[in-house]
Chain A
Amino acid sequence: MALSGMRGLSVFISDVRNCQNKEQERVRVDKELANIRTRFKNERGLSVYEKKKYVWKMLYIYMLGYDVDFGHMETVQLISAPKYAEKQVGYIVTSCLLNENHDFLRLVINTVRNDIIGRNETFQCLALTMVGNVGGREFSESLAPDVQKLLISNSCRPLVRKKAALCLLRLYRKNPDVVNVDGWSERMVQLLDERDLGVLTAVMSLLVALVANTPHAYWNCVPKCVRTLERLTRGQDIPQEYTYYGIPSPWLQVKTMRVLQYFPKIDDPTIRKSLLDVLQRILLGTDVVKNVNKNNASHAVLFEALALVMHLDADKEMMSQCVVLLGKFISVREPNIRYLGLENMTRILLVADVADSIKKHQSQIITSLKDPDISIRRRSLDLLYGMCDVSNAKDIVEELLQYLTTADFGIREELALKAAILSEKFAPDLSWYVDVILQLIEKAGDFVSDDIWYRVVQFVTNNDDLQVHAAAKALDYLDKPAVHETMVKVSGYILGEYSHLLARRPGCSPRDIFHILNDKFPAVTTPTKALLLSACVKIMMHCQPPDPELVDQVVAVFRRYESSVDAEVQQRAVEFLALARKGTAFVDIMAEMPKFPERQSPLLKKAEDTDGDASEVSATKIRQQQMQQEQNSTALVVADPQPANGGLHPVSVPKTAAPARHSEQAVTSETPQDSKSFPPSQSQAHSNGGTPQQAPGHTPGSASADLLSDLVGPLSLEAPPPVASTSSSDLLALEAPPTPTAAAATPADSLALALLDSAPTQVQPLGNVSEWFKELTLKDSGVLYEDPYVQIGLKAEWRNAQGRIVLFVGNKHTGPLTNVKSSVLPPPHLRMQSAVVPENIPPRAQVQVPVDVACLSASRETAVLEFSFNVGHAPVSVQLKLPTSLNKFLQVAPVSANEFVARWRALGGPPSKLQEVVRGVRPMPLAEMANLFIRLHIGVANGLDPNVNNVVAATTFYSGTAATLCLVRVETDPSDRTQMRLTVASEDPNTTYELKEFIKEQVMDIPFPGQSPQAATVTPATIPLTGPAAALAGLI
């Protein structure tokens, strides 16, 4: 045969193998490449045999990792050779060496096409394989119809057809237009009747791609897939060669179940039942056996069945059956099964309410965290992360911390991050949180980003009862040898602020603490030195009555850094020296940091961001993401991404009842020079602040603020630095106390004051309320409302004229929400009943409020939820539209063409049938409009209207006990997509009218705030939630 027959090639391979090192190999390869190059140049003297030999050599060299940038032409030319052997070499090597963008490939499109449409099956196979591997867009355009013909041909051998299926798949990926959705879905149904399992396998792969793109177009394939699965699991009509270790084509079983997961939902009760029966059989009928290969294959099927059960949202019993199985898997010896068991447990956690049954396996999962296999350890870490909640956070986080000491490097960073996130998210109490983070810094300081220790400082500052504990802990850690720099920072800061609270304890005198801090200076970086200087000055200040010896020692430190080359350190040293002589003013300036405003944890935000980030198209995945979002949205997180500075406007700040020292601090700082370097809010604070008073060192102070913000700017792990104007104040707030100057003090103060002042009236939603509402019109779960304190999620189920909405009210805030009230105001056509909300919602807790809805007649009005609560003492109240829109009471009505036409005719004209030309339609392709209709539960009847620019649809409207069939016809003008003629017909004139208006609203241009008056039907984008009246005006 070609290869072993080619002596020259064998010799070359042997030569390469005999090379002692890479250098020798390179020399030998270069020699060969030079040789081939010369031979190709004098092409005339080249025999076919030689050409083939050289091309094989090129492929071999290419596989060794050398770039072969010539000879492509010769390779491609072989494709046009008449003999099979040459053609074959040409095709194989081309598909390895060249890629779809290669110019030479285009040259052979014609040859390839001739091979495909020719009669020679072996040529067809070669051509299809090459196109299936490297075919590009041009191939799609010129070959798709021919390939389709081969696939559906009756006369072709299975060998050719299965390749045609996959070739078509490649062409479809390159250009989806090559498959005409309407015509092709019927073809796919027929192809699924295929008896040859090879062809069927390839067809399933093709179907996966088609369904992933346009699931609704391939609904009719679902029953066939289920039947295929039945055939396989029952072992009916399975040829011997497709039985793999006694199992009927496990591969095809897996693929078939995979296809079914790409359909968003399988509702048809009979199909669902037979599918679940099959799955049940698989779940029950799989046992662990000795033979590894058989075991693999049967578990491949089993795991896919599990995934499909999860996707189908099967009943509770079946889900818990899955969890039991998975629980068994995670403790078996076979590592592959263990790995997949853990992976699927993480997955099932996202889609079903099985957290409690999974918790039963917690100890086994923790054991897996110590598995010798890193793949398994990672899965286990993910699962622990996913299953963690308030109830088990302590156990899990402590387990992670323990593991951190022995964990290998590859996983430490992830481990540290996850421990930090979990401890913040689910901390049963804050002192525990502080302990965990300090441990984390001690064990894996390199992986603890600044965000994390900032967060500790924030919590400690904001919680008085935490300060003693934190200071004591900080001292313990700092007193150890070889402390991580992050530990020096966080401990230094905490000790500076709060060590005086420990003064009575032995070994905690200001002098002791100063000595500990002083020892750290030599080993730390400059920014940390600056921080330590501030800590020293604070300790000195707190020491009352002043201890002259301590003062001398501290001053000596300042003197040491007075001439530091680093501007920041030098400046602090100089300023502190001057301040130390200021007497009482010094005490005021150095006062304890005010409380921080609530703000979102950058860490959690980042965690959420990465969670939502994925580019996979599988329906399961999307579903998972949705679930995750739902979970996230109910996860109670301290969140306030609002620009603390811009949003809350502290115009009246200094007039409020803020502690005196705040205003004083503000006062010392304010000078005209200063204010210009700050965002406007500061200068406003300034103008109200009273008599400007020169503080020593204020001018460099302002510069230092900027510098500081630069220093601490790149906050998060690897995220880009946040936008300066909003972030700098955030950051400054943290770093503020060390700098006694205006720059640092003011922003922090004004923030704190602003919060004290009047947060409630300024509570702003964290997104676009009307967008949320709009989304909820189209789907049944999501966010209804969210602001920094509260999040209201919503989940709804609708059946005919009835519905149940469950509101998930979550307190995201660290304080309780009090005086919580909610009431539902139903419009006249709805009857609604709502459960009572508890008056208080504890921090980070969530309550569920079910609301029952019954529809009496058609109307576009929606119900309104009045929701109010108090944060601290300030009331917040919002009014929100509830998604009880007309379409919730619609159900897709399948009607045959005859039925439709008959009905349409019977419903003569107004008022049963109304027609209107709608202008200002949001331009969209017909497919999108059809999609919109489907999402509105208005069933599109494809192909019923002979005019392709029209959409015909039918739906049933339920109210009371009545069901009204409604018919819809949309005529569009392809040349002007902004208008359409809409006709709606039903027996009930009111329903007709309301449905027509409703559809109009849905297809109209998305209104932007303050745009056209017609936008009023859909609420303006941002509801000014400042007053109930204003909100109501926006709603109705």
Chain B
Amino acid sequence: MILAALIMNTQGKPRITKFYDHVSVERQQEILRVVYSVLSSRSGNLCSFVEADDIFGPDTKLVYKHFATLYFVFVIDSAESELGILDLIQVFVETLDRCFKNVCELDIVYNFGKVHTILDEIVMGGQVVETSSAEVMKAVQDIWKLERVGELNPANIRGIGHYKNSRS
């Protein structure tokens, strides 16, 4: 089972956190801290797996990928395949990339709701729902179409990417 899906930046700021087993806020923060301190101490050419027994209990692992300023971390138990999860992270990132055209950290910050929608199409209750990036895209685009219906208040619509220019 996937116990959690986390996206955090290389400064340790959480960008997306999703826990598939109930975890209190304090514990979530502690987990994020420990995970960050573990990952930030690992250099580039090491393997993508870290045993997480101390953080999540016996037989758990962090499977992570590092993209630019972001860590994508999935916490899994021994019922999942490590490399399979790496594939899944890749699918997740490829999908984000398609949605946001060259996804960057800011896309995820300002569109965390969208990212949640995408994640929900890939993982549900700690299990994988869909592994095809194309299928996920289809589902997500349908959802966004629906969201727009009845919400065409031009004042509220701003082009995706405006924040990329207005970065402070």
Can you list, as one digit per residue, whether each of B127-158 has a CB less than 8 Å from chain A (1) or not (0)? 11111111100010011101111110101111
Contact B46 A335 (CB under 8 A): yes
Contacts of A67 in B (CB 8 A): 25-26
Question: A159 is contacted by which of B109, B114, B139 (Cβ under 8 Å)?
Answer: B139
Contact A300 B14 (CB under 8 A): no
Contacts of A762 in B (CB 8 A): none
Contact B151 A5 (CB under 8 A): yes
11 pairs of residues in contact across A and B, judged by CB atoms under 8 Å: A5-B151, A125-B139, A169-B125, A198-B130, A202-B129, A254-B81, A296-B90, A300-B86, A339-B49, A373-B47, A616-B77
Contact B114 A3 (CB under 8 A): yes
Q: How far is the CB of B95 from chain A (nearest CB, A)?
A: 12
Contact A297 B83 (CB under 8 A): yes
Interface size on B, residues (CB 8 A): 76
Contacts A56-B113, A251-B128 supplied; 10 other A-B pairs, CB < 8 Å: A5-B153, A7-B155, A17-B109, A49-B156, A63-B17, A92-B113, A101-B22, A249-B132, A252-B131, A336-B49
Contact A5 B116 (CB under 8 A): no
Take A4-B158, A162-B129 as given contacts and tell me if A84 and B87 are in contact as well, using a CB distance cutoff of 8 Å: no
Can you list, as one digit per residue, whether each of B3-29 has a CB less than 8 Å from chain A (1) or not (0)? 000000000001111101010011011
Interface residues of B in 78-123 (CB under 8 A from A): 78-79, 81-84, 86-88, 90-91, 109-114, 116-117, 120
Query: Which has the most chain A C-beta neighbours within 10 Å: B28, B78, B117, B151?
Result: B151
Contacts of A299 in B (CB 8 A): 83
Take A159-B139, A170-B125, A296-B87 as given contacts and tell me if A201 and B47 are in contact as well, using a CB distance cutoff of 8 Å: no
Bound together, the chains give a CA A833 to CA B91 distance in angstroms of: 62
Take A5-B158, A64-B14, A167-B125 as given contacts and tell me if A85 and B151 are in contact as well, using a CB distance cutoff of 8 Å: yes
Residues of A within 8 A of B (CB): 1-7, 10, 13-14, 17-18, 49, 56, 59-60, 62-67, 83-85, 88-89, 92, 96, 99-101, 122, 125, 129, 132-134, 159, 162-163, 166-167, 169-170, 197-198, 201-202, 205, 208, 241-242, 244, 249-252, 254-255, 258, 293, 296-297, 299-300, 303-304, 335-336, 338-340, 372-373, 375-376, 378, 614-616, 618, 621
- A-B interface, 5 closest residue pairs, ranked by CB to CB distance from nearest: A300-B83, A335-B47, A99-B22, A241-B134, A132-B125
Take A84-B147, A132-B125 as given contacts and tell me if A242 and B132 are in contact as well, using a CB distance cutoff of 8 Å: yes
Contact B25 A14 (CB under 8 A): no
Q: How far is the CB of A25 from chain B (nearest CB, A)?
A: 10
Contacts of A616 in B (CB 8 A): 59, 77-79
Contacts of A88 in B (CB 8 A): 117, 143, 146-147
Contact A65 B156 (CB under 8 A): no
Which B-chain residue is minimally distant from A373 (CB atoms)?
Answer: B46
Contact A208 B83 (CB under 8 A): no
Contact B163 A122 (CB under 8 A): no
Say whether B168 faces chain A, with CB atoms less than 8 Å apart.
yes
Bound together, the chains give a CA A159 to CA B129 distance in angstroms of: 9
Contacts of B135 in A (CB 8 A): 198, 241
Question: B150 is contacted by which of A6, A59, A85 (Cβ under 8 Å)?
Answer: A85
Bound together, the chains give a CA A63 to CA B112 distance in angstroms of: 10
Take A10-B110, A17-B168 as given contacts and tell me if A336 and B18 are in contact as well, using a CB distance cutoff of 8 Å: no
Contact B29 A65 (CB under 8 A): yes
Say whether B35 faces chain A, with CB atoms less than 8 Å apart.
no
Bound together, the chains give a CA A251 to CA B168 distance in angstroms of: 41
Bound together, the chains give a CA A3 to CA B151 distance in angstroms of: 12
Take A64-B14, A372-B46, A375-B46 as given contacts and tell me if A254 and B144 are in contact as well, using a CB distance cutoff of 8 Å: no
Contact A258 B114 (CB under 8 A): no
Q: How far is the CB of A126 from chain B (nearest CB, A)?
A: 9
Q: How far is the CB of A3 from chain B (nearest CB, A)?
A: 5
Bound together, the chains give a CA A49 to CA B116 distance in angstroms of: 19
Q: How far is the CB of A312 from chain B (nearest CB, A)?
A: 17
Question: B117 is contacted by which of A92, A167, A338 (Cβ under 8 Å)?
Answer: A92
Contacts of A166 in B (CB 8 A): 124-125, 127, 129
Bound together, the chains give a CA A17 to CA B108 distance in angstroms of: 13
Bound together, the chains give a CA A170 to CA B160 distance in angstroms of: 36
Q: How far is the CB of B98 from chain A (nearest CB, A)?
A: 13
Query: Which has the most chain A C-beta neighbours within 10 Å: B45, B124, B159, B166?
Result: B124
Bound together, the chains give a CA A163 to CA B135 distance in angstroms of: 13
Contacts of B87 in A (CB 8 A): 244, 250-251, 293, 296-297, 300
Which B-chain residue is minimally distant from A206 (CB atoms)?
Answer: B127
Question: A92 is contacted by which of B120, B128, B159 (Cβ under 8 Å)?
Answer: B120
Can you list, as one digit per residue, whether each of B46-68 has a CB less than 8 Å from chain A (1) or not (0)? 11111100000011000000000
Contact B146 A122 (CB under 8 A): yes
Say whether B32 faces chain A, with CB atoms less than 8 Å apart.
yes
Query: Which has the most chain A C-beta neighbours within 10 Å: B49, B117, B155?
Result: B49
Bound together, the chains give a CA A376 to CA B46 distance in angstroms of: 9
Bound together, the chains give a CA A162 to CA B125 distance in angstroms of: 12
Contact B125 A133 (CB under 8 A): yes
Contact A293 B90 (CB under 8 A): yes
Bound together, the chains give a CA A2 to CA B115 distance in angstroms of: 12
Which B-chain residue is minimally distant from A262 (CB atoms)?
Answer: B79
Q: How far is the CB of B93 from chain A (nearest CB, A)?
A: 10
Bound together, the chains give a CA A129 to CA B130 distance in angstroms of: 13
Bound together, the chains give a CA A340 to CA B83 distance in angstroms of: 9
Query: Which has the most chain B C-beta neighbours within 10 Å: A4, A13, A244, A250?
Result: A4
Contact B113 A122 (CB under 8 A): no
Bound together, the chains give a CA A991 to CA B127 distance in angstroms of: 51
Question: A59 is contacted by which of B50, B112, B132, B142 (Cβ under 8 Å)?
Answer: B112
Contact A122 B134 (CB under 8 A): no
Bound together, the chains give a CA A159 to CA B43 distance in angstroms of: 40
Q: How far is the CB of A257 from chain B (nearest CB, A)?
A: 9
Which A-chain residue is minimally distant from B154 (CB atoms)?
Answer: A5
Contact B25 A65 (CB under 8 A): yes
Contacts of B153 in A (CB 8 A): 5, 49
Contacts of A618 in B (CB 8 A): 78-79
Contacts of A85 in B (CB 8 A): 146-147, 149-151
Bound together, the chains give a CA A744 to CA B151 distance in angstroms of: 87
Query: Which has the most chain B C-beta neighbours within 10 Å: A101, A208, A244?
Result: A244
Q: How far is the CB of B22 from chain A (nearest CB, A)?
A: 4
Contacts of B49 in A (CB 8 A): 336, 339, 375
Query: Which has the most chain A C-beta neighbours within 10 Å: B43, B78, B111, B120?
Result: B120
Contacts of A132 in B (CB 8 A): 124-125, 127
Contacts of A1 in B (CB 8 A): 114, 144, 147-148, 157
Contact A621 B78 (CB under 8 A): yes
Contact A60 B112 (CB under 8 A): yes
Contacts of B113 in A (CB 8 A): 2-3, 56, 59, 89, 92
Which B-chain residue is minimally distant from A158 (CB atoms)?
Answer: B135
Bound together, the chains give a CA A18 to CA B109 distance in angstroms of: 13
Contacts of B163 in A (CB 8 A): 4, 10, 14
Q: How far is the CB of B166 from chain A (nearest CB, A)?
A: 8
Bound together, the chains give a CA A210 to CA B79 distance in angstroms of: 14
Take A159-B139, A373-B47 as given contacts and tell me if A336 and B82 are in contact as well, using a CB distance cutoff of 8 Å: yes
Bound together, the chains give a CA A162 to CA B139 distance in angstroms of: 13
Q: How far is the CB of B94 from chain A (nearest CB, A)?
A: 9
Contact A4 B146 (CB under 8 A): no
Contacts of B129 in A (CB 8 A): 162-163, 166, 198, 201-202
Q: How far is the CB of A369 from chain B (nearest CB, A)?
A: 15
Q: How far is the CB of B167 from chain A (nearest CB, A)?
A: 9
Contacts of A249 in B (CB 8 A): 131-132
Contacts of A134 in B (CB 8 A): 22
Contact A2 B147 (CB under 8 A): yes
Which A-chain residue is minimally distant from B133 (CB atoms)?
Answer: A241
Contact B127 A375 (CB under 8 A): no
Take A18-B168, A258-B79 as given contacts and tell me if A250 and B47 are in contact as well, using a CB distance cutoff of 8 Å: no
Bound together, the chains give a CA A618 to CA B59 distance in angstroms of: 12
Contacts of B26 in A (CB 8 A): 67
Which A-chain residue is minimally distant from B87 (CB atoms)?
Answer: A297
Contacts of B112 in A (CB 8 A): 3, 59-60, 63
Bound together, the chains give a CA A64 to CA B127 distance in angstroms of: 25
